[in-house]
Chains A and B, each alone.
Chain A
Amino acid sequence: MGDGGWVGAESGPFLVLDELQVRFSDAVTIGPVSLTIERGEILALLGPSGSGKTTLLRMLAGFERPDSGQVRVEGEEVTAVPPARRRVGMVFQHYALFPHLDVGENVAFGLQGTRDGGRGTSAAVAEALALVDLAGFERRKVQELSGGQQQRVALARALAPAPRVLALDEPLSNLDPSLRERTRRELRQLIKRIGITAVFVTHEQEEAFDLGDRIAVLSAGRLNQVGTPEDLYEHPANLFVGTFVGRANVLRGAAARALGAANGQVVLVRPEQLRFGAGTGGSALSGVVAERRYTGAAAFFQVTLESGERVEVQAAPDAARVGERVSVAATRTLCFADQGG
């Protein structure tokens, strides 16, 4: 797909966001953010609401103009290119299907002017719909479709004009939770099959892990870390990434020192990195089991420490009872400088 050809495929990254920065007010600034994305890669922009991830995506698609910085696709600077000529396919959070047009007309919208004659267009529409498993849906009204089908029409519409980059804004947030997991897999398979470079926004860690090759974690307009799911989980760059990605206990003061932290450091320890029983070298905490939440293969135990802090321990369901005095040891910890709070 795409008529850009493969020239320059080996020369540098496919998509570059270079020092992008935009200021909304004195209090709200996004960036500067720099990211590089390889051809065919799927990058997730993960962060809480207000972290600037959607703004970043909109700058990529051309709907927001950065105050400074550049967007480059295949080495070509497109920062000032309007969305209509940028060739970034966009899937909107609420799909933004044109309600007055049918499915086929929606998908054909981006094809006009790029192909000659109606025949070429209708073949391309059929092709795009087949790609998302909606072959033969051309004359259906968009309001008649289920949420999942609408999402796929939005995808087909974005892909039909053969864009260079696919941008997806919370693509799964409007689906039933039961449908989300399956759709996530299908979406990833489809993007990989086409081989298009994709950037998507999400606030759910699980979605980012499942769908993205790499994940960029944002908070308060800043890029915290970029990496694979393993990188983020095992080696978080800071406390925010550590707590936002995966479950985590954060300990300060005496409890932190008991787990080997220096003064002024906080300890981040995941529930599965804690176990009951005395640790080696006396690095253990003691407390009382306050709550037990059974999840099948394992159970989560809430332990109230002597310092008053609470930690969550993942262990075998029969490892402890509520009310029991226990000691808790860590198999692995991460220490960060405490930035207050």
Chain B
Amino acid sequence: MTRDGGRPRAAGWGVALTLLLAWLVLYPIVLLVLDGMHGDALRTFAARGGEWQALWASVWISLASVVLAAVIGVPLAFLFEWFEFPGRKLLGSLIALPAVLPPFVGVIAFLFLYGESGFAARFLQYLFRFQQAPWHLQGPGAILLVHAYSMYVYFYLFTRAGLARLDAATLEAAQALGAGRWRTLTRVTLPLVRPSLAGAALLTFMTSLGSFSAPYVFGGGFRVMTTQIFASKQNGEMGVAMVETVALALVALAGLALLRRTEGEAILAGLGKGTAPRRRALRSPLVRLATTLAGWGFAVLLLLPHATLILVSLVPYATWTTETLPPVLGLVNYGRLFAEPERLEPLVNSLWMAAASTAAAVALSLAAGWLVVRRRAALRRVIEGLLALPWALPGTVFAVALATAFSVSAPLQLRWVLVGTVMILPLAYFVRNLPVTGRAILAGYRQLDPALEEAAASLGAGPWRTLRRVTLPQLRPALAAGASLAFVGALGDFVTSILLYTYRNRPISMEINAALRVNEMGVAAAFGVVLMVVSAIVLGIGARR
């Protein structure tokens, strides 16, 4: 019953927040487009065949990733949501594990496991006495393997959530009307979970379009747009890099617009009532055994990268050459991580930058939540759009945009030189965190009964006391969820870091990359394990109710 427009004071804050967000999120993109669209750079871009190949590669790799992830994730979701078999619960949560592996760490785990000199190759060499590695883990196939491994989780989780929201009565109604199992599935179940599938497809497409780690490590000569941009920037062709970035941004926005159209949000509104269908126990002992074995086998397969990472982290430098399994194991690498100031520094850097950028994103999202949901500020749609924008664009795009905007000193245009300083990277993390914290906190605010805050006010509590005693405690789950995801994202970030870091604030991912270059696999893996453990702990805390 609150009126549109809100109070004049709220309108003032709404304008202030909109301007701040526009400066953080939109302005760098605008500058990127303006600065990048120069004749020379455009002509160079258009004339090089490699550019178009890379753009096309980005698109088809992303589409193929969506298909592969769906093929793995959707059947798994049905299996775990609809059937009962031994170990269902434990496996059901194990299966979401790739989520706790930061992308770059997942990629190096794959390298150690399935790479030319990884465990799998060595094992086959040992078995069949091959002289050389049986395969090269390189090119589009390798990229798709990593993508499928890490992104089926989206389909799995989204579909399970969609299925859990189904009302059993709808399915029973279909059966009562004479529909068989297949007809019920295709005519009722799938249309009802379509919004979930569309959501997962969108997320997979965007993630894989922005994916950098896998193409960077496994691409070899095969370039996608993100690695192409990085290469151009390394070669000092900043103008071309900008054009490439704009091209990638356009593809992302086109994909977003297309998939949004199919999302069918209206259907969602009809769901949410009633009880989910009961799980069917698998009766035939043979089917049960097969399902259980397959489930466990799959879980082991999913856990192998994590296990590999831990094993490699225990291998001291230069002790493992041609043996199938490492001959010496120890905690030397971890000792070096924490004892050598040179190695400890990236850890500290990553932690403070992730913490600061998360805190800032949470604070800004809280202000946005208050203005958008409570005060219904006139600019609420704009505020929401700006908060979500960094999600719609690959990390590489934002990194290049920030590098463009803050490489010039022009205080009157609100531009300062931040490139090459310690500040640019946490700023980039902060902007990239905004969609995650914003979405969680706005959703939390929307679920919050406004009567609670009114009750506090009618009992004499001022705005601060209401915020501290009523609003924040009520928002705690949303805050924890948003903040933990943002923190983990910033902590494991590779895409933005590789374009914007300086030596003084080099984060863990850059140290891993450096260790890989000089073949210090153990140290790289130890860093990876630390990232994995911290991420798992933080996500665990964030998911607690």
The 8 closest A-B pairs by CB, nearest first: A110-B459, A96-B451, A90-B458, A83-B457, A96-B455, A92-B451, A100-B473, A84-B457
What DSSP secondary structure best describes chain A's contact surface? loop
Q: Residue among B3, B451, B455, B474 with the most chain A CB within 10 A?
A: B455
Q: Measured between alpha carbons, how far is A109 from B474 in the docked complex, in Å? A: 15
Whether B455 contacts A161 by the Cβ 8 Å rule is no
From A53-61, A68-76, A184-192, the one touching the partner chain is: A53-61
Residues of A within 8 A of B (CB): 24, 54-55, 58, 61-64, 82-90, 92-94, 96-100, 109-110, 113-114, 157-158, 161
Cβ of B452 within 8 Å of any chain A Cβ, yes or no, is yes
Cβ of B461 within 8 Å of any chain A Cβ, yes or no, is yes
Cβ of B1 within 8 Å of any chain A Cβ, yes or no, is yes
| With contact pairs A55-B1, A100-B473 given, residues A94 and B458 touching in the complex (Cβ less than 8 Å) | no
Interface size class of B (residues with CB under 8 A): 10 to 19
Which of B1, B455, B458 contacts A98 (CB under 8 A)? B455
CB-CB under 8 A from A109, the residues of chain B are 456, 459, 461, 469
Whether A96 contacts B473 by the Cβ 8 Å rule is no
What 0/1 pattern do residues 452 to 474 of B give for CB contact below 8 A with A?
A: 10111111111000000110011
Whether A96 contacts B462 by the Cβ 8 Å rule is no
- What are 28 residue pairs bridging A and B, where the CB atoms are less than 8 Å apart in the complex? A61-B458, A63-B457, A63-B458, A64-B1, A84-B460, A85-B460, A86-B458, A87-B460, A89-B458, A90-B455, A96-B449, A96-B451, A96-B452, A97-B455, A98-B469, A98-B470, A98-B473, A100-B473, A100-B474, A109-B459, A109-B461, A109-B469, A110-B461, A113-B460, A157-B455, A158-B458, A158-B459, A161-B459
Minimum CB–CB distance from B456 to chain A (whole Å) comes to 7
Q: Measured between alpha carbons, how far is A82 from B460 in the docked complex, in Å? A: 9
CB-CB under 8 A from A93, the residues of chain B are 451
Q: Measured between alpha carbons, how far is A100 from B461 in the docked complex, in Å? A: 16
CB-CB under 8 A from B449, the residues of chain A are 94, 96
Q: Measured between alpha carbons, how far is A98 from B456 in the docked complex, in Å? A: 9
Whether A90 contacts B452 by the Cβ 8 Å rule is no
CB-CB under 8 A from B473, the residues of chain A are 98, 100
Q: Measured between alpha carbons, how far is A113 from B1 in the docked complex, in Å? A: 31
The residue of chain A having its C-beta at the shortest distance from the C-beta of B474 within the complex is A100
Which of A84, A87, A92 contacts B461 (CB under 8 A)? A84
Whether A58 contacts B1 by the Cβ 8 Å rule is yes
CB-CB under 8 A from B451, the residues of chain A are 92-94, 96
Minimum CB–CB distance from B464 to chain A (whole Å) comes to 11
Whether A54 contacts B1 by the Cβ 8 Å rule is yes
Interface set, chain B 431-457, CB cutoff 8 A to A? 449, 451-452, 454-457
CB-CB under 8 A from A87, the residues of chain B are 460
CB-CB under 8 A from B456, the residues of chain A are 98, 109
Which of A54, A90, A97, A99 contacts B454 (CB under 8 A)? A90
CB-CB under 8 A from A157, the residues of chain B are 455, 459
Minimum CB–CB distance from B403 to chain A (whole Å) comes to 44
The residue of chain B having its C-beta at the shortest distance from the C-beta of A163 within the complex is B458
Q: Measured between alpha carbons, how far is A58 from B1 in the docked complex, in Å? A: 10
Minimum CB–CB distance from B475 to chain A (whole Å) comes to 11
